[in-house]
């Protein structure tokens, strides 16, 4: 069973998909089952920081700024309402600062922060 907002990656061609409609069955790409990516929440062992943090009205990737190079970068940052019904997402280029302005006030005071690193996968934090 798949669930809304889950992210899957093809281990052959590196396609990445997000579930928009829940369903039964297995996701397949390149004739192989796709890998369900778990949302990481603890980067204390990494030298690079990936867990999104809230700073004023912005979501930033890590307490230490994440690298943004062609080889290693954040592909998107998003804020999701606690029920995951509302999403604001910003897709990034490798030469952009990994920051999302959340001053739109679409989900009040609480939301889930999530980002995708092209090398290290999905990372999640919470603003309560």
pLDDT of residue 83: 84
Q: How far apart are CA 100 and CA 88, in angstroms?
A: 9
Q: How far apart are CA 41 and CA 123, in angstroms?
A: 6
Q: Which helix (H) or strand (E) holds 116?
A: strand 111-117
pLDDT of residue 24: 94
pLDDT of residue 81: 85
Residues facing residue 17 across a β-bridge: 8
Structure tokens at 19: 């579930």
pLDDT of residue 105: 57
Count of Cβ atoms closer than 10 Å to residue 126 Cβ: 14
Q: What is the mean pLDDT of each run of 10 residues along the chain (128 residues)?
A: 94 95 94 95 77 87 87 92 85 90 65 92 90
Count of Cβ atoms closer than 10 Å to residue 56 Cβ: 9
């Amino acid at each position: 069973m798949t669930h809304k907002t889950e992210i899957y990656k093809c281990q052959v061609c590196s396609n990445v998909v997000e579930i928009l409609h829940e369903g039964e069955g297995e996701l397949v790409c390149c004739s192989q089952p796709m890998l369900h990516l778990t949302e990481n929440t603890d980067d204390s062992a990494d030298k690079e920081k990936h867990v999104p943090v809230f700073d004023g009205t912005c979501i930033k990737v890590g307490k230490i700024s994440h690298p943004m190079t062609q080889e290693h970068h954040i592909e998107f940052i998003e804020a999701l309402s606690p029920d995951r019904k509302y999403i604001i997402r910003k897709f990034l280029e490798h030469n952009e600062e990994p920051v999302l302005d959340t001053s739109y006030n679409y989900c009040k005071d609480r939301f889930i922060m999530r980002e995708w690193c092209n090398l290290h996968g999905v990372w999640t934090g919470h603003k309560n």
